[in-house]
Structure formats: C-alpha cells, structure tokens
Structure 1
Amino acid sequence: MTEVSARIARLFAYPVKSCAGAELTEALVTETGFDLDRAWMVVDESGEFVTQRELPRMALVKTQFRRGEVILRAPGMLALHLQEDAVEGPAQVRVWNDTVAAYDMGDVAAQWFSDFLGRKSRLARFDPECRRLSNLEWTGGVEAPNQFADGYPLLVVSEASLDLLNEKLAARGVAAIGIERFRPNIVLAGLEAHDEDRVSVLRIDTPEGEVRLALVKPCSRCTIPTVDPATAEMNPAINDVLRTYRASERLGGAIAFAMNAIVLEGFDRILRAGQRVTGDWDFA
C-alpha cells in the first residue's frame, strides 16, 4: 500500500474551551498543540470546568485573534477583549480528573460569562508552568502535555468523513452539518472517509522543517456534535445516525469520530492551509 497522501484543507483553534473556534490560515505548533488552543476555560464557582455538554449556549460565543488579544463576542453582549499576556490572581481549577494551576482572568470576564450563560462563572487561563499530560497508555509512553483540551493536544479529521456522515444524515431527512461541530484542529483533504483512523504518523513539510504528528486515539463523542453552532439548539438525530456505524469497540461502544494526535516533532513550526501531508498507515 502506498503512503498516506493528503493536504491540509482547514485549520482551527479554540482559545476558550467549548466556545466557538477561530479558523486560521496558519497555526504555530507548540508542545501542547496549536498556540493558545484551549488556553482559557470557563469554570463554575467551585473551579469546575463547564462545557457545551451542560451549557449549549457556549457555542454562541465567537472568538477572534487580533494583535495580541482574543476577542469574544456573543448575542446581546459587548465584546470582551482578552489580552494574551495578561492575567490576574492565581487559581486552581478542575478539568475532568485533573486539578491544575491556573490564573483567574478577573471580575470583568467573570461577569461577562455569568451574564451571558445565566450562571455564576469565572474565566481561567492555564498556567504554562503546569504540566498536564495525555494518557500515557494511548500515547505509547510519550509525554504529551495539554492545556485545557479534553485529553490530547490536537484533533485530526478528514473532509471525507464528514461527507459520509452528511450522506447518511440526508438519507434520514436530516440537514447537512458543518465540520465545526466536531471541533477539529486539522481538517485533511484527499483521504477516504475515516482513513484518519488507519494512520499512525502524519508528516508535514514546512519551510521551518518537518512536523510529525502521531494519531494515537479515536475521539469519543459526547453530545456536542448535536449542538447547532448558529443557534445552540440540539438535534439528537445526529448522534443517533453516528451510532449506527461509528460505535467503537476500542472505546467500549462509544461513538468515535476523528483522531486525537500528539506532536512528535516540529515545535515552533507553522502549519498552513494547503500544505501537503504524507504519512504511514497503521498496520497494528
């Protein structure tokens, strides 16, 4: 079998966990994935993370990168400007089973999210001195740090995988959906549907040198793909269709869509839409 051959179709980063992402023309690769990806996170009064799973309205918070800041916009709200290099006091927050050091972003950000979400909330910034690792069993022992991502630095999916799902949705009379619902970092063109499941390593040549990514774990899906990013309304039919053909034995029967990835090589190099991607098939 020939080596994997594809190209980068789209790139996304999600500065605030579970809020809308920003599409990028280029992305700086860091040890924890794309620069500033999931660097901020909304937490409740006890410091516990909150997501679209319980607050679908978070999907309506749009994000934009601009000259050293991240700008957040939401219906009925004035824009909130977050300086990339500004924080307030230290904090401890919890994401899944990890309690990690963070920084509180202050009362203005807290009030903004509290008002929009209708629940007392605060905004936290990940402490870069903290080291939160991906599951070593899935990474094969490679230490892959994250910020506030669910568990892995990057998420990779192919355009063909979404095309197949939309064909199956259409057969059920369900409207087509966009790739944004699956919150990928890298969208690949040129693969067959779910070929990403069968790849071990991806290589991208950049002017700065090669970037190598290991695709280590299928991504188990919760209710977030059912949330319409334009309205925050949920349509369970999407997961109902996925469950008919994407239940994964490796994940105990959970829905699998896209692959979690870690960075093996290429820190401080830049990925760009249109770059050629090669790789190795996983014969394990």
Structure 2
Amino acid sequence: MTALHRFPVKSCSGEELDAAEVEPWGLAGDRHWMLVDPSGETVTARAHPRMLLMRPRLSGDGLVVSAPERADLDDLEVATPQGPLTDVTVFGRAPFAAALADDSAHAWFSDLLDTPVRLVHADDPRRRHANPAYAGPNVPMAFADGYPLNVGSLASLAELNRLIAEGPRAAEGGLEMVRFRPNLVVDGEAPWAEDGWRRIRVGEVVFRVVKGCDRCAVPATDHRTAERFKEPTATLARHRRWDGAVWFGVQLVPDSPATGAVLRVGDEVEVLEAEVAPDGPPR
C-alpha cells in the first residue's frame, strides 16, 4: 500500500497518514463530520466545489478547520458534540441521528459557502448501515457515500491518464489520485484488476470488496483551485461507463479483524479471492 488518506469532514480536504486504525465503519476519524442543509440533507462538493479548499484536521477532542482562501477568517475550533441529536440524510436515503455542533461552527461554514448549513458529527455510526444488497447485513457507516472504505489503484490511474492524453482534452490529464478521494492507494496490479477482486488482505486486515465506485463530479474538480473540468468524467464515459454511471476504484468492508488493527503505508496487499475483471460495472 502506497498511501493512506483520511477525510475528517465529508467533501473537504483530507489528511495523508502514515498509519490509521481500522474500525467497523472505516478508518478511525474518516468522514465523521458532515455539513447539512436546513432540511438535514448532506451538503457536498458536488454542489459546492469550494468545500475541497477547506482544510480540516482532527484535534484531541474535536476538529480544527482552516480556510486558506479567506485570509480574514480565523481557524474554526469545534469540540466533539455530545448532543443534541438531529435527523440527517445522505443523498435522500433513510434518515438517521447525528450530533449537532455548536452555533459558531454553523455560522463559520455558512459564511464560507454563502448558504445556511449546519455541522454534524457521527457520534454513533451504528445508527446508519451500508446497502445490505452489497455489504451484507448491519454494516455500520459514518458519513461516507455508501461503504466504509474506498481503494484506488495507481495502475488504473496511470491507464486513465494515458487514455486522457490520447483524447481531445489531453491538457486536463495528469490527474493525481487525491482527486478520487480514496482511503487506500495500492500499486502493482494490472489496470482495472481491482474490478475482479472479492477479498484482499492489507497488512493484518482482511477486507471484502463489495462494489465498484460510481463517480460524481468531484473527481472532475481541481482540489487546489475548486475549478471544475470535463476530465476524468469524459474519458471514463468513453471507456468505463455502465448502468448510466462511470466507474473508478472499489469499495471495501473490513472483515477481520473489524476493529483495532492498524494499517500502515508500506503494508503488503494480497489478493485472496478474485474473478476475471467483469466487462461491466464492478459487482
């Protein structure tokens, strides 16, 4: 494994780590905070690309967020809330309860985005579950889109960049992996081999590979400027389009041990079960 990424606030900038503990709902501290609109629905960089410029980091008992684009704005310091709870949703799916941060956090983010938002915390990820059709029953979730972890392959990224370079928007190529916001980055396999993975071991942890990752507009957004482009969506649509979506990377559920083990950059990645990569969406 060549890199580990944690994203403390959903859709904001992430942290690159040397090591991270695995919990049943993903990497410790990953996507445990989220912005929601007044109705409780998630607010993401799909609609607000500038979220990618916000830089959150976990502190001892909470969160610190900076906004480099706003020199007039002090860093936000937020204590981990103990309540009250409010119902929230992620892309209109079943509502679940999350803890509200204090009013100063809501005001800080609302000022930055120029729209009313609230900051919430996944105080108990067991209240939300991944889709059992793919993940199996009762897989807990914090605020990731659909499944506990995501993995990206450098071999697949290199192939994608090669395809972009051959197309009409070659200048938009040379993409970095962070555009796809994976938790784990791996190397050494053939491009798209991960489509056929079913179980892998990374260090001490065995993961089930439960589904491919269908992609939204976020990978087409420059994480340094928040400018949105056509790539990689256009090239993925030519080469990796199935079921009305474009696909890059695969989703993981920790299998054993599901909690307490530590992943480290440099850990060996072993494919335990695989099929021939499908000519269609992964899983």
The alignment's TM-score, normalised by the length of structure 2, stands at 0.90
Aligned length: 268
1:194-209 equivalent positions in 2, closer than 5 A: 194-205=192-203
CA offset digits 1:204-261 (Å, max 9, x no partner) = 33xxxx311011101011111111111111002321111111113xxx1310100011
Cα pair 2:25 2:125 within 8 Å, conserved: no
- Report if aligned partners of 2:125, 2:140 keep a CA contact under 8 Å in 1: no
Structure 1 match to 2:78: 82
Kept in 1, the 8 Å contact 2:209–2:252? The answer is yes
Cα distance in 1 for residues equivalent to 2:176 and 2:232: 12
1:265 maps to 2:263: no
- The DSSP-based 3-state class of the residue aligned with 2:51 is helix
* Counterpart residue identity of residue 226, structure 1: A
| Cα offset, 1:144, TM superposition | 1.5
Which secondary structure does the structure 1 equivalent of 2:30 belong to? coil
- The structure 1 residue matched to 2:159, chosen from 164, 167, 174, is 164
- Match of 1:193? 191
Q: Which of 128, 135, 144 pairs up with 1:132? A: 128
Note if 1:55 corresponds to 2:48: yes
CA distance in 2, matches of 1:202, 1:53: 30
Offset at 1:143?
2.9
Distance across 2 between alignment mates of 1:129 and 1:198: 29
Which amino acid in structure 2 is aligned with residue 177 of structure 1?
L
1:162-241 to 2 correspondence within 5 Å? 162-172=157-167, 173-175=170-172, 176-205=174-203, 210-241=204-235
Deviates more, 1:74-83 or 1:270-279: 74-83
Gaps of 5+ in 2: 277-283
The DSSP-based 3-state class of the residue aligned with 1:214 is strand
If the length of structure 1 is used for normalisation, what is the TM-score?
Answer: 0.89
Q: Deviations over 1:14-71 (max 9, x none)?
A: 1111111111111110010001111111011121111111111111111223444432
Query: Pairwise CA RMSD of aligned residues?
Result: 1.6
Match of 1:5 in 2: none
Query: Identity rate of aligned residues, in percent?
Result: 35
For 2:230 and 2:213, locate their aligned partners in 1 and report how far apart those are by CA, in whole Å: 18
Q: Following superposition of structure 1 onto structure 2, how do residues 21-60 of structure 1 map, counting pairs within 5 Å?
A: 21-60=14-53
Q: Distance in 2 between matches of 1:64 and 1:231?
A: 19
Gaps of 5+ in 1: 1-7
- Which structure shows the bigger proportion of residues in strand conformation? 1
Which range moves more in the overlay, 17-26 or 89-98?
A: 89-98
* Contact preservation (8 Å) 1:29, 1:270: yes
